[in-house]
Structure 1
Amino acid sequence: MGERCGWCGTDPLYVDYHDHEWGVPERDSRALFEKLCLDGFQAGLAWITILRKRDAFRAAFAGFDPSVILTWGEPEVTRLLADAGIVRHRGKIEATIGNARAWERLEENHPGGFTEFIWSAVDGAPVQHRFTSLSQVPATEERGDLLSKRLKQAGFKFCGPTIVYAFAQATGMFNDHLVTCPAHDQCAALA
């Protein structure tokens, strides 16, 4: 049995996330929306910070139910800016509300909804990379860059190429576990 990817370190929360979530193909529209929003909140921060606050984010953002969030306005923004359990950043909060509205448009107007819109970036199937060291894993990738552009055109914010590639890795669109990591083959089997 090989060693897990070194980026997760030894923090039990991070190790659990690495072993059971990161790289597992996700096709649930709401879950994809949540992950994209959380990756947007991560901008400028370490992912472990967001992971530690994830339960508070879920409580503050109505379980990341886009159909609820899209109705929000300034009163909810004010409430969220006062919530010490989350990252209090007006731009990211307002982006999440706007992203819920963009999500709804895709659900209503794109064949297959948000899930199909996202997964079409990789033709519906996870890309199986075979990296042997963390230095080989890119921060962005051409298909992720194109998805970033498409998301922006659809009205999403905080979805630049680096954020979108991190999102795509985490949701299993790209299996970027190192080949020496036991999770690589586990995720590949789920493709």
Structure 2
Amino acid sequence: MKRCDWANLNKTLQNYHDNEWSICEFSDYKLFEVLCLEIMQAGLSWDIILKKRKFLKQAFNNFDFSLVKNYDSNKIDNLLINEKIIRNKSKILSIINNAKILYNWKSIYNYSFSEYIWSFTNNKPIINFPKTHKDVQSLNFLSIQISKELKTKGFKFIGPTIIYSFLQAIGVIDDHLIDCYKKNKQ
């Protein structure tokens, strides 16, 4: 079975590719989890994040933004000494900050975070047709636009490259290679 090149490096990446990556996701809780993982991944490999994912989920209350928003200095200190996760203070603080914003999102804007993200593409995925991994972008006009808008709403650590990767992960952008068996199967 032909997959995107990056998914062939090991079973962890293969499983993520086959069962999660670029499958359309609409749950605000799942979107928050993916955004948090993308933030944690900045400057690191996705393989590292997937191997630490279980511990990250445990440390961040299964990425439940209604709980993460309440993290205090004691919880932050505990996260910073947890050797099983990524112990970057800027990333941890941005996740807590973003949880606070997401928790209040629906009451402020009167629609879900998912509805907001998907509204940029009229609720349809953008399907690209890369032949090789080199043809896949790391950002585009959409990721730049969403990143800017989220920053105006108070989000942190969400540059256009992180947002592009986020959009790929949640299925807004389909960058499966043209010969990948997952292409247009969502």
TM-score with structure 1 length normalisation?
Answer: 0.94
Matches within 5 A, 1:32-71: 32-71=31-70
Matches within 5 A, 1:19-168: 19-168=18-167
What is residue 6 of structure 1 aligned with on the other side?
5
Deviation at 1:9, TM superposition (A): 2.7
| Contact 2:6–2:13 under 8 Å retained in 1 | no
Matched-pair identity in %: 36
Gaps of 5+ in 2: none
Partner amino acid, structure 2, of 1:162? T
Deviation at 1:94, TM superposition (A): 0.7
What is residue 182 of structure 2 aligned with on the other side?
183
What is residue 168 of structure 2 aligned with on the other side?
169
Gaps of 5+ in 1: none
Deviation at 1:60, TM superposition (A): 0.3
Matched residue of 1:67: which SS?
helix
| Residues in 1 aligned to 2:13 and 2:157: alpha-carbon distance in whole angstroms | 23
| Residues in 1 aligned to 2:162 and 2:4: alpha-carbon distance in whole angstroms | 19
| Contact 2:4–2:177 under 8 Å retained in 1 | yes
Q: What RMSD in Å do the two structures reach over aligned CA positions?
A: 1.1
Partner amino acid, structure 2, of 1:124? N
Runs of 4+ in 1 over 3 A off after TM superposition: none
Deviation at 1:145, TM superposition (A): 1.0
| Contact 2:3–2:180 under 8 Å retained in 1 | yes
Matched residue of 1:185: which SS?
coil
Matched residue of 1:24: which SS?
coil
| Residues in 2 aligned to 1:147 and 1:122: alpha-carbon distance in whole angstroms | 11
- Number of aligned pairs? 186
| 1:60-106 deviations in Å (ceiling 9; x for gaps) | 00010000111111111001011111000111111111000111232
Matched residue of 1:183: which SS?
coil
Partner amino acid, structure 2, of 1:142? F
| Contact 1:148–1:161 under 8 Å retained in 2 | yes
| Contact 1:121–1:144 under 8 Å retained in 2 | no
Deviation at 1:111, TM superposition (A): 3.0
